[in-house]
Amino acid sequence: MAGEGGASEVDSEDDRDARLRALLSVPLGMPQPVAPPATPDRPSSEARETPAAESAAPDGTGAVRTRIGFGTVLSVLVLLGLFATGAGLVYAGTRIIRSSTEGQVLTQETDPTAPGYEALVSPTPTLLVIHDVGGLVDSLAVLTLPDPNAGGGGVVLVPTRTVSDLPLFGYAPIEAAYDLGTAELQAEVVGDVLTTGIGEVVVVDAERWAGLVAPVAPLSIDNLDDLEVDGELRFPAGDLELEADDVGAYLEATQEGESDLARLFRHRTFWEAWLEAVAASGDPSAVPGELEVGIGRFVRALAAGSSVVETLPVEPVVVEEYDDQPTFAPELDEVAALVADLVPLPRSPRPGVRPRVRVLNGTEDLDEARVLALALPPVGVEVAVVGNARSLDEPTTTIAYVNPSHEEAAMAIRDLLGVGDVVVDPRPSDVVDITVTLGADHD
């Protein structure tokens, strides 16, 4: 078999290299005109591009792919650049708590009610699901568990044609990150768009989709459009019983002239149907995979409570010198609101994107820091540590920052609190950038 299709493989590689060159040189133009309205009887493809939230009442392994040629060379350059700046998903791993005054690991004090107690904050679990078709990214979905113990959460469908500032190469559709060679790099770029780090990443192809869905198949789906595959009608419009072996083809299918964003309407119906079927089953084996990590854990948890499936809020933009496919830019305010709802304790996607904050109780009310930790992320920070100050009799709230680049974030925290003194902290810290000590002046 190794000798078959040699010419087509070379052509495919050439196509990918040409595609990658285009992806990495894409100046932004003016917004495109608004799509025409839908017909009264049902939404058009363009109308279905508008993100909407609706309630929805194994385990894959992130595969690292290698390629020969232009893409591989660029991948090496990007990864070298990321390691040089300390970026990458490794940053999202375990961090050691150190005192900003002594630089020692805080292991002696284990009583949460005692002065000086500090603990790492567990960020909201997040998982990126990459649908791989022929070595290219076909679709992206971010799964979040706002309260892992209670169940439920969110599925955020991210258009692959969303434009972002890729490391070293500037603005390009985020699908380019997967072309560069790793699922981890794709996860980091998606994290940049959402301004939250991605904790896990999994790559799923058609065969893997079939294995994941098989225990609860077929899925009952209201299919709005006739969908052809290889020129033949495969998924007729109407009530559809989607078999496990057809999931990959259904997600990949695209109508002629349909944008990457418009087809996510069908992806939303698939995720809602899958979660509903898993919930109805009530069987832990309804999703293959491990219980504590990966897509098995996430889908079970999502199905165990109230979940929403949403499309990332984006707006059309023109990308010059690329191709004629629609491209999109994140609507920043709406993305921030979505992340605040579905990722209450985000981590920074890369060092410096979200300043790291420590929140300390400076009074006998030991619930204040915990409550504030959930309120702070919408101002653009990562709450890394929560605990108690060395004194629980602080009269005034202080917001202390080390680096001048964090002054703006410190002021935003002051505005949120409505009280407190913003001061410069001359003591360096390798754990946090800002320390908030709550005093008696904080309600």
Domain range 354-443, CATH class: alpha beta
pTM score: 0.76
* Alpha-carbon 58 to chain mean position: 20
**Distance (Å, whole) CA 200 – CA 69:** 28
Q: pLDDT tens digit string along 149-191?
A: 889 999 999 999 998 887 666 788 899 888 876 899 999 999 9
- Pairing status of strand 307-311 against strand 153-158: parallel
Where are any strands of DSSP class E within 261-403?
307-311, 314-317, 327-330, 356-361, 382-388, 398-401
> For residue 374, what is the enclosing H or E element?
helix 368-375
Quick count: other Cβ atoms within 10 Å of Cβ 34? 9
Domains 11-83+124-342 and 354-443 share a fold: no
**Distance (Å, whole) CA 329 – CA 137:** 18
Map residue 126 onto helix, strand or coil: strand
Looking at 36-50, 153-167, 389-403, which range is the least confident one?
36-50
Which residues on neighbouring strands pair with residue 360, listed in sequence order? Answer: 387, 437
Closest to 12 measured CA to CA, from 69, 80, 95 = 69
Which CATH architecture is the domain 11-83+124-342 placed in? 3-Layer(aba) Sandwich (3.40)
Map residue 301 onto helix, strand or coil: helix
Q: pLDDT tens digit string along 321-366?
A: 555 678 899 999 999 999 999 999 999 998 889 999 999 999 999 9
Closest to 193 measured CA to CA, from 385, 353, 394 = 353
Considering 71-80, 83-92, 279-288, 399-408, the range whose residues carry the highest mean pLDDT is 399-408
**Distance (Å, whole) CA 265 – CA 47:** 10
> Could you tell me the pLDDT band of residue 320, with boundaries at 50, 70 and 90?
low
**Identity at 354, one-letter amino acid code:** R
Q: Where are the domains of the chain?
A: 11-83+124-342, 354-443
Enumerate the H helices of 155-282 as residue ranges: 175-179, 183-194, 206-213, 247-252, 264-281
First to last CA, the chain: 71
pLDDT above 50: residue 17: no
CB 87 within 8 A of CB 167: yes
